């Protein structure tokens, strides 16, 4: 790789900031949240009503299996953590040369079924066989509406608040690895029953219900869906968007034993493994009882993993590892694909 080339995965923050600086929204007064680091969804006021339209686009590029399901659910998660229930989706399907009718139709069918399972619908998109690619790529735009009083920003964290995690870290990344690196895991001696259980994680990645419920109750300051860069990357984005520092007790982070075992076998850090399927966010301590009650009723595990402080020269500090994170966090699954 050339010294100035960029590796697989999200682009560095320095490059991203250059792009964001080009995206002026000043001439459009209806835009409440536009392109900003850590804010994955745009929030647009609908005329003079009390409602906002929330829009998000996400590609699925680093997976081979269950692409239709992943594409819909990952995009839906980024809508839901703003407080909007995802209702409409457009899906662009780019297929490599040599694809068959069955290949294309099966992906479209899976995406449509995933949208219906969330109470939404695929309302448009584009499909083509494209030169220069070796595997299918799906790009999904998710849209939803919520009341302006309900929407939640990534950048809403305040000093003195608690940092929470809902559902285990790296569900998405673990599921992708066991589907797409199966032979490698078997060759490393990872037990079949571990692989089998981990494959099921892909069916657990939706966070729509807890995210929308918490937003509508008005008890969270910020929420974020940690995708590339994993839980750590998501926490860094939340900290940067909010201009605060996060002090994290990493011993309290929720993770499944299958994820740890598979990560250990591959020599990767599960805390930096793509993590759609979790919610990270912050809330005022006075709401902890109501927060706990809501998640108990939904049957979901959660953990209070840290506290927010005024910006102290770092984005995230992990207490157990005694390690600071500042800026861009590369996802471990990107490294795996780079090494293939």
Residue 62 pLDDT greater than 90, yes or no: no
Question: What is the pLDDT at residue 330?
Answer: 86
Question: What is the pLDDT at residue 64?
Answer: 75
User: What is the rounded average pLDDT of the residues 295-320?
Assistant: 97
The token pair that represents 8 in the structure block: 């697989």
Dump pLDDT digits (tens) for 161-200: 999 999 999 999 999 999 888 999 999 999 999 999 999 9
CB 289 within 8 A of CB 219: no
Question: What is the pLDDT at residue 340?
Answer: 63
Please enumerate in sequence order all residues whose Cβ is within 8 A of that of 289, keeping only pairs 6 or more positions apart, or say none.
none
User: What is the rounded average pLDDT of the residues 284-310?
Assistant: 97
Least confident of 62-76, 229-243, 254-268: 62-76
Question: What is the pLDDT at residue 3?
Answer: 60
pTM as predicted: 0.92
Residue 221 pLDDT greater than 80, yes or no: yes
Pairwise CA distance, residues 235 & 278, whole Å: 12
Q: What are phi and psi of 194, to 5 degrees?
A: -70, -45
Cβ neighbours around 130 below 10 Å, total: 14
Pairwise CA distance, residues 41 & 226, whole Å: 13
158 against 5, higher pLDDT: 158
User: What is the rounded average pLDDT of the residues 4-25?
Assistant: 78
CB 72 within 8 A of CB 52: no
Question: What is the pLDDT at residue 154?
Answer: 95
CB 177 within 8 A of CB 261: no
User: What is the rounded average pLDDT of the residues 22-38?
Assistant: 84
User: What is the rounded average pLDDT of the residues 94-108?
Assistant: 95
Confidence band of 2 (pLDDT split at 50, 70, 90)? low
Residue 1 pLDDT greater than 50, yes or no: no
Dump pLDDT digits (tens) for 116-157: 999 999 999 999 999 999 999 999 999 999 999 999 999 999
Question: What is the pLDDT at residue 271?
Answer: 96
Domains and CATH numbers, the chain: 13-147 (3.30.1330.10), 154-339 (3.90.650.10)
């Amino acid at each position: 790789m050339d010294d100035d080339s960029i590796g697989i995965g999200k682009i560095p923050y320095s490059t991203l900031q250059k792009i964001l600086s080009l995206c002026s929204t000043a001439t459009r007064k209806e835009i409440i949240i536009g392109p900003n680091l850590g804010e994955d969804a745009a929030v647009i006021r609908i005329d003079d009503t009390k409602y906002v339209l929330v829009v998000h686009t996400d590609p699925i590029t680093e997976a081979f299996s269950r692409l239709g399901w992943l594409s819909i659910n990952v995009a839906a998660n980024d809508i839901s953590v703003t407080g909007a229930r995802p209702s409409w989706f457009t899906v662009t399907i780019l297929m490599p040369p040599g694809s068959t009718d069955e290949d294309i139709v099966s992906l479209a069918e899976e995406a449509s079924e995933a949208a219906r399972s969330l109470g939404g619908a695929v309302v448009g998109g584009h499909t083509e066989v494209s030169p220069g690619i070796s595997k299918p790529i799906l790009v999904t735009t998710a849209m939803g509406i919520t009341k302006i009083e309900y929407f939640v920003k990534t950048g809403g964290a305040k000093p003195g608040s608690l940092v929470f995690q809902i559902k285990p870290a790296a569900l998405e990344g673990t599921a992708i690895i066991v589907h797409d690196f199966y032979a490698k895991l078997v060759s490393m001696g990872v037990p079949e029953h571990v692989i089998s259980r981990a494959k099921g994680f892909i069916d657990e990645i939706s966070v729509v219900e807890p995210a929308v419920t918490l937003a509508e109750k008005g008890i969270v300051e910020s929420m974020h869906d940690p995708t590339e860069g994993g839980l750590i990357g998501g926490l860094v984005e939340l900290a940067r968007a909010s201009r605060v520092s996060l002090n994290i007790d990493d011993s309290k982070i929720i993770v499944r034993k299958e994820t740890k075992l598979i990560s250990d076998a591959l020599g990767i850090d599960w805390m930096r493994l793509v993590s759609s399927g979790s919610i990270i966010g912050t809330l005022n301590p006075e709401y902890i009882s109501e927060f706990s009650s809501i998640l108990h009723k939904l049957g979901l595990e959660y953990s209070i993993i840290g506290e927010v402080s005024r910006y102290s020269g770092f984005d995230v500090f992990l207490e157990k590892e005694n390690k600071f994170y500042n800026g861009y966090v590369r996802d471990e699954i990107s490294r795996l694909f780079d090494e293939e």
